[in-house]
């Protein structure tokens, strides 16, 4: 059992929790809690290392039985609090290698997030995108690290099922409008000043939705890429919706149209 906060591996976990560049350079991320570790295993994401406390629930103990003994380490509750990013740890924490799920060849439903910087918003959007059946989510430059602890908690396992890519604008252009199919996906930008109400857009066609950042809205690159701008009608005096809420409204309008 690890009982010292000075243990090198505990210090390593703390760095992974706090430093995006550490996660990126080592190609790993951390999930906490029984449900998220379960989601990872169900989706075939095998942890490199798992910490657990003696008071871990029976449900959590059943997770440990599915892992090799060499990948599991017991720690005291005090050390789990040191290693954890939450105030009330659930008694299990896993270090998992990052991997890129492939985008389908025939794309018809893509979400492009333009410089979303709030971790809670990004995680909520990813969870909603997975529920709506989005085939892949693209993050533009300037976005928050999608593998940050708060994003992972808010996404509730979406990372394990949803193709996700952080791309530059040239790569985004190539993915949405490949040379082999120049027309590509019909690209709609969510914009409070858009001329088209979102319910009047035709989302039956292969579609890419762009949702801009919370503070500054869509970038010049996103506006240039968009073929149409849609708005969500709101009551007078209301400026805009939270990015996560706007994304949910638009994504499930696509679902509604395609199921009707």
Q: Which residue matches tokens 């971790």? A: 119
Kindly state whether residues 130 and 255 are assigned to the same domain: yes
Domain with 204 in it: 109-259
One domain, residues 13 and 65: yes
- Partners of 97 in beta bridges: 28
Out of 44, 74, 97, a domain closes at: 97
d(CA 258, CA 249): 14
- For residue 74, the domain's CATH number is 3.30.1330.30
- Cα–Cα distance measured from residue 119 to residue 15, given in angstroms and rounded to the nearest whole number: 18
Domain contains 3:
no
Please choose, from the candidates 155, 217, 157, 152, the residue with its C-alpha nearest in 3D space to the C-alpha of residue 189.
217
* Nearest-angstrom CA–CA distance, 20 and 148: 7
In the sheet with 49-52, reading across from the earlier edge strand, the strands are 28-32, 92-97, 49-52, 72-74
pTM to 2 decimal places:
0.94
Q: HSE (CB half, 13 Å, CA atoms) of 51?
A: 27
Domain check: are 62 and 171 in the same one? no
Joined together, the tokens standing for residue 68 give: 């090799």
Q: Are residues 173 and 73 in the same domain?
A: no
CB 116 within 8 A of CB 143: yes
Of 67, 97, 127, the residue that ends a domain is: 97
Confidence (pLDDT) at 214: 72
Q: For each of the chain's 260 residues, which pLDDT tens digit applies? A: 999 999 999 999 999 999 999 999 999 999 999 999 999 999 999 999 999 999 999 999 999 999 999 999 999 999 999 999 998 999 999 999 999 999 998 899 999 999 999 999 999 999 999 999 999 999 999 999 999 999 999 999 999 999 999 999 999 999 998 765 666 899 999 999 899 999 999 999 999 999 998 777 789 999 999 999 999 999 988 878 899 999 999 999 999 999 99
Predicted confidence at residue 35, as pLDDT, reads 96
CATH of residue 217's domain is: 3.40.1280.10
The residue from 47, 69, 97 where one domain ends is: 97
- The number of folded domains in the chain is 2
Residue 103 within any structural domain of the chain: no
């Amino acid at each position: 059992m690890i009982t010292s906060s000075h243990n090198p591996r505990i210090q390593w976990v703390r760095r992974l929790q706090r430093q995006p560049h550490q996660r990126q350079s080592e190609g790993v991320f951390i999930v906490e809690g029984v449900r998220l570790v379960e989601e990872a295993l169900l989706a075939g994401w095998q942890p490199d290392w798992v910490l657990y406390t003696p008071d871990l629930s029976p449900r959590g103990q059943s997770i440990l039985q599915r892992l090799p003994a060499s990948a599991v380490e017991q720690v005291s509750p005090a050390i789990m609090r040191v290693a954890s990013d939450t105030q009330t740890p659930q008694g299990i924490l896993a270090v998992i290698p990052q991997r890129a799920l492939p985008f389908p060849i025939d794309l018809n439903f893509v979400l492009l997030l333009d410089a979303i910087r709030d971790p809670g918003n990004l995680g909520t959007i990813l969870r909603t995108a997975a529920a709506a059946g989005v085939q892949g989510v693209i993050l533009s430059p300037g976005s928050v690290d999608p593998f940050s602890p708060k994003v992972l908690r808010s996404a509730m396992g979406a990372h394990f099922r949803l193709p996700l890519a952080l791309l530059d604008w040239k790569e985004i252009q190539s993915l949405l409008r490949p040379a082999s199919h120049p027309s590509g996906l019909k690209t709609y930008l969510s914009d409070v000043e858009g001329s088209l109400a979102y319910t009047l857009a035709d989302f039956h066609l292969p579609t890419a939705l762009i949702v801009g950042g919370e503070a500054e809205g869509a970038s010049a690159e996103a506006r240039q890429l968009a073929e149409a701008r849609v708005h969500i009608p709101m009551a007078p005096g209301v400026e805009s919706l939270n990015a996560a809420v706007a994304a949910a409204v638009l994504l499930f309008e696509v679902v509604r149209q395609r199921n009707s």
